Amino acid sequence: MDFRLKAFLTTLIVSLVMFAWLIYVSLTNEQMKPIPVAAQQGKLVFQRKACIECHTVLGNGGYYGGDLTKVYEKLGSDALKEFLTHPPLISGAKQKRHERLNEAETNAMIAYLEFLDSINTTNWPPHPLYEAKPQAR
Ligand code: HEC
């Protein structure tokens, strides 16, 4: 076989293999990971307790309590557990507290918040916004 034909065929095969590999990698990246069952249960608790009325997740929801997408990274599992099982007074409210979650609801909620935190949001929410404390009304 002529050298130029061999070189052409080799380049063609190498390109095809690399193309197939790129497609494989792009289809099997981390975003294809299944959502953990506990996180799914946490999302149901989140819906049942209507946390979305005051909080945004991935930018959607109410603007009173701040975005919870990356709150797991901010507070960590232990502080979240304490917060959800012994909710403090909501600042700006004289009596209103977060609803107290039971043990199972708390664990599911933390799994959900941990899952949200694992989503690559390309730095959403922006940090100055995230660190701002809601104003007392
Ligand atoms: C009535 C409005 C309201 C509802 C409903 C609500 N929150 Fe909040 N939440 C707030 C406000 C306001 C804050 C900010 C802290 C404060 O002012 O006390 C807050 C703070 C938080 C924080 C701490 C955030 C941080 O950045 O430190 C977490 C975690 C949280 N809420 C989780 C939840 C979950 C989970 C639910 C549903 C079970 C929920 N909240 C329902 C109003 C609410």
Say how many domains are in the chain.
2
Report how many helices (DSSP H) and strands (DSSP E) the chain contains, helices first.
Answer: 5, 3
Alpha-carbon span 70 to 119, nearest angstrom: 9
The answer on 110 and 46 residing in a single domain is: yes
Same domain, 46 and 14: no
Q: Is residue 133 classed as helix, strand or coil in its secondary structure?
A: coil
Domain presence at residue 124: yes
Q: Where are the alpha helices (DSSP H) in the chain?
A: 3-27, 37-48, 71-85, 103-118, 127-131
- The two structure tokens encoding residue 82: 């304490």
DSSP character at residue 28? S
Report yes or no on 137 lying in a domain: no
Q: Evaluate if residue 27 carries a pLDDT over 70.
A: yes
pLDDT band, residue 26 (cuts 50/70/90):
confident
113 within domain boundaries: yes
Nearest CA to ligand 1 atom 10: 65
Distance CA 48, CA 26 (A): 35
Residues 7, 65 within the same domain: no
Domain extent for 75: 33-131
Is residue 136 assigned to a domain? no
Q: Is 42 in the pocket of ligand 1 (CB under 6 A)?
A: no
The residue to which tokens 């095969």 are assigned? 13
- What mean pLDDT value characterizes the chain? 89
Identify whether residues 22 and 46 lie together within a single domain: no
Residues 57 and 109 in one domain: yes
Span 74-126, pLDDT tens digits: 999 999 999 999 998 887 777 888 899 999 999 999 999 999 999 988 887 87
Residues 42 and 26 in one domain: no
Looking at per-residue pLDDT, the higher value among 24 and 15 belongs to 15
With a 6 Å cutoff on the Cβ, whether 73 touches ligand 1 is: no
Clarify whether residues 51 and 97 are in a common domain.
yes
> Could you tell me the pLDDT band of residue 128, with boundaries at 50, 70 and 90?
low
What pLDDT is stored for residue 95 in this prediction? 82
Could you tell me the distance, in angstroms and rounded to a whole number, from the CA of residue 55 to the centre of ligand 1? 7
Distance, CA 125 to ligand 1 centroid (Å)? 16
Are residue 21 and residue 43 in the same domain, yes or no?
Answer: no
The pLDDT, as a whole number, for residue 100 is: 94
Asked whether the predicted pLDDT for residue 18 surpasses 80, the reply is yes
What is the separation of C-alpha 12 from the centre of its chain, rounded to a whole number of angstroms? Answer: 41
CA–centroid distance, 91 to ligand 1, in Å, is 10
Q: Is 5 domain-assigned?
A: yes
